Structure 1
Amino acid sequence: MNPILTAIQKSAIRIKHAIDVKDIGYSQEQNSSGETQLQLDIQSDLIIEEELSQIEGVHTIASEEKEEPMILNENGHYFIAFDPLDGSSLVDVNLSVGSIFGIYEGAFTPEKMVASCYVVYGPRVELVFAYEGKVKLYLLQNGEFEYVKEIHLNEKGKINAPGGTQQCWAPFHKTMIDSFFARGYRLRYSGGMVPDLHQILLKGGGLFSYPGASDKPEGKLRMLFEVFPFAFIFETAGGKAVDGTIRVLEKNPRHVHDTSPCFFGSCDEINEVISVYAGQQ
């Protein structure tokens, strides 16, 4: 696992440099979801592919920017799914963005997930890595990632980060979100999945939600690249991750780009989500 973490760290340093200097305009290409790719999306994808291709243990990679998985080494046993630059459209307004990695052993299924990682490119570059029951925070300093601390979620938090188009929410979902605010939860929503979930983790807890809605019944966020990696991190840190009714790590995508509704948070908030959604069955 150390060579993979080292490759991710090298990728992050190169992506940070690309963010600082790269043309952030749109390309003429579209990704697997039909979204027009930014130059930075393409560059970040190529950087990660290049770094992971040097690791003998990596069998296959799947990227949010690629239609199909790519075999790198037939003798490898790790399968790595990644979103090269999540929230890349926020770069031009200088908000934080990130890279997300799900590391699987033998196949792209949640029961095969053995580690996950994300990087935040903000005022500081930070990396969070979940492996063997621990979630560790690293900080980029003087060209190297240095260990800072372990991350643990509290039983209950104070942050509410609701995603999706509100006019498309189910009424019961809006009532639930409003009830958190009525109890003093603070709104923290940048439009970037990585910085919002990073804040919840580092501030001790809360709720991030991206429900199924009338415009996106199956949610927007992709299971392999976004939902599963953060579910693994939140569960390892002592929190929970569900799709409203079931644990997201019990779901099995039919295609590498399948999406799912998702709720991440500390136990108290997620238990409330489960209770509210159970009442709608």
Structure 2
Amino acid sequence: MDEIFDYIKKAVLSISNELKFPDTSYNQSQNKTGDTQLKFDVISDEIITNTLSKCPNIKALISEEKDESLILNEEATYIVAYDPLDGSSLMDVNFAIGSIFAIYEKKAQAKCLKAAIYSIYGPRLELVICKDCVNLYRLNKENEFIFVKKLIMQEKGKINATGGTQKNWDEKHAKFIKGLFDDGYRLRYSGAMVSDMHQILCKGGGLFSYPATKNSVNGKLRAFFEVFPFAYITEKAGGKTSNGLNESLLDLEFDNIHATTPCFFGSKYEINALLKAYNER
């Protein structure tokens, strides 16, 4: 596992270096879920593919930007699913963006998830690695990732990062979100999941949500590349997750590697309040 972490660090460093002078224009192509690809989406995907393909412990790679899995070594143990550049549509306004990695054992299913990692390309290059606990690392002047601290979710937070166009929310979700604001929660939503989740984790609590909407009835965020790795990290940090009905996003199963789902990540207080609000008759 540590060897895979080292290869991911190399890929993240390469992407960070390329981001210093990026091409922010769009391709004519779209990925599997219909997003128009930035040229840098493709570049980031190529960097990760080329770097991780050299790791003998990786069985296959699954990318948000590729239609199918890439088989590397049938005899190997681990499958790495990744979003090469989360929040890439915000590159033109210079917001913090990142890369997300999920490491599955034998099979790409939530119950087989063994580790999750994300990088955040902001004023500092930071990396969060979660195996048994959630560890934050920061790049130093010697190009080494140095341990900073463990990230732990408190029982209750004050940050509310809620996605989806509000006019497409259902009444139940709109009422729940209003209740959080009435309780004094602060809106903190950039449109980049990595950035918004990083703030909640570093601040020790809050809620990130992307509900089912009228135009995205199955949610918008992708289970294998975004939802499962951040659910793993959130729960290992002491928080909770749900799709609005269940007690953990990690209980979900999908056959389609590009499946999406409504998703909620937060402190225990916010997720318990969500479940109460969503299940009221």
Query: Taking structure 1 as the reference length, what is the TM-score of the superposition?
Result: 0.98
Q: What is the percentage of aligned positions where both structures have the same residue?
A: 49
Letter in 2 for 1:112: C
Structure 1 segment 115-264 matched on structure 2, within 5 A:
115-131=115-131, 133-142=132-141, 143-246=143-246, 247-264=248-265
Count of aligned residue pairs for this structure pair: 279
- Which AA in structure 2 matches 1:168? N
SS of the residue corresponding to residue 199 of structure 2 reads: helix
What is the DSSP-based 3-state SS (H/G/I as helix, E as strand, rest coil) of the residue aligned with 2:19? Answer: helix
Q: What SS is found at the alignment partner of 1:256? A: coil
Matched to 1:278, the amino acid is N
Letter of the 1:60 counterpart = A
The CA deviation at 1:157 is 0.4
Supply the distance in 2 between the matched residues of 1:160 and 1:35 (Cα, whole angstroms).
26
Cα deviations across residues 86-114 of structure 1 (Å, max 9, x unaligned)? 01010110001010011000000011000
Equivalent position amino acid for 1:9 in 2: K
CA distance in 2 between counterparts of 1:148 and 1:186 reads: 26
Give runs of aligned pairs for residues 99-118 of structure 1, distance below 5 A.
99-118=99-118
**Could you tell me which amino acid in structure 2 is paired with residue 267 of structure 1?**
K
Cα deviation digits, residues 226-262 of structure 1 (max 9, x gap): 0000000000000011100112111111200000000
**4+ residue segments displaced more than 3 Å:** none
TM-score, normalised relative to structure 2: 0.98
Moved more, 234-243 or 142-151: 142-151
CA contact (8 A) 1:153 1:204 kept: yes
Aligned counterpart, 2:68 = 68
1:129-151 Cα distance to aligned partner (Å, 9 max, x none): 110x2110000112111111111
Question: How far apart, in 2, do the equivalents of 1:161 and 1:270 lie?
Answer: 13
The answer to whether the Cα contact below 8 Å between 1:164 and 1:210 also exists between their aligned partners in 2 is yes
SS in 2 for 1:40: helix
1:56–1:75: 8 Å Cα contact kept in structure 2?
no
| 1:29 positional shift | 2.0
1:22 deviates by: 2.3
CA positional deviation for 1:200? 0.3
Separation in 2, partners of 1:36, 1:172: 31
Q: CA RMSD in A?
A: 0.8
1:84 aligns with 2:65: no
Residue 220 of structure 1 contacts residue 260 of structure 1 at CA under 8 Å; is this kept in 2? yes
The CA distance in 2 between the partners of 1:163 and 1:250, in whole Å, is 22
Residue matched to 2:2 = 2
Counterpart AA for 1:229: P
Distance 2:36 2:215 in 1: 20
The whole-number CA distance in structure 1 between the counterparts of 2:140 and 2:190 is 25
> Alignment partner of 2:20: what SS?
helix
Give, as a single letter, the amino acid of the residue that structure 2 aligns with 1:176.
Answer: F
How far apart, in 2, do the equivalents of 1:111 and 1:33 lie? Answer: 24
Alpha-carbon separation, structure 1, partners of 2:280 and 2:67: 38
Q: Say whether residues 1:11 and 2:1 are aligned partners.
A: no
Deviation at residue 36 of structure 1 after TM alignment: 1.6
Cα offset, 1:35, TM superposition: 1.8
Aligned residue type for 2:8: I
Shift of 1:51: 1.2
Secondary structure of residue in 2 paired with 1:149: strand
Q: What's the CA shift for 1:42?
A: 0.4
- Give unmatched runs, 5+ long, in structure 2: none
Pairing 1:58–2:62 present: no
Contact 1:100/1:118 (<8 A) preserved: yes
Q: Name the residue aligned to 1:93.
A: 93
- Structure 2: which amino acid aligns with 1:10? K
Give CA deviations for 1:64-96 in whole Å, capped at 9, x if unaligned.
Answer: 000011101111110110000001010110001
C-alpha distance in structure 1 between counterparts of 2:34 and 2:218, whole Å: 17
Partners in 2 of 1:146 and 1:185 — Cα distance?
32
SS in 2 for 1:179: helix
